[in-house]
Amino acid sequence: MSDGGEVVIKIELFGIGAVKGKIMRHLAPLSADAIIDHLPIILRGRFSFGKKAYWTLPGIEIFKGTNIKSSQAAKKNDIVYNPKSDELIFILEDFTFSNKVNKIGEITDNIDFFLKARNGLNTKITMF
């Protein structure tokens, strides 16, 4: 982990390629630490229902609640954890959730990379 509390990660969509991101511990320390402790993570991802607003990895199994910085709004390139549904989410366009989510990081590469994926594709997250 770097001095700034940031962990660089690689998000790989099998058969398509990979992008870089970073987990920023100061945004949601409990959620970020739990996710870092679970790395590497390999789960099947899917798009949001209806449109391609976000790529989600359901069943992350960290079960951490909201914090004082939690918000319903998420911006493009954000990485958020939704404690209500226990899923890690990569935001592809600005989105407002029906409940509060914990922002834990951001994608540092081209987020449109996810648009090449199809539902059910294995997604692997590792430290870079």
Would you state the torsion angle of the CA atoms of residues 82, 87, 89, 93, taken in this order, to the nearest 10 degrees? -60
Confidence of residue 1 (pLDDT cuts 50, 70, 90): very low
* pLDDT at 4 (0 to 100): 59
In order of their start, the domains of the chain are: 6-127 (2.40.100.20)
10, 125 Cβ separation under 8 angstroms:
yes
Q: Report, in angstroms and rounded to the nearest whole number, the Rg of the chain calculated over CA atoms.
A: 13
% of the chain at pLDDT higher than 70: 97
Task: Provide CB contacts within 8 A for 118, sequence distance 6+.
Answer: none
Separation of alpha carbons 43 and 122, rounded Å: 6
Identify the burial level of 109 via C-beta atoms within 10 angstroms of its C-beta, where 0-12 means exposed, 13-18 middle and 19 or more buried.
middle
Terminal-residue alpha carbon distance, the chain: 11
* pLDDT at 38 (0 to 100): 93
What is the SS3 assignment for 107?
A: strand
pLDDT in tens, 32-50: 999 999 999 999 999 988 7
pLDDT in tens, 50-97: 789 999 999 999 988 888 889 999 999 999 999 999 999 999 999 999
114, 90 Cβ separation under 8 angstroms:
yes
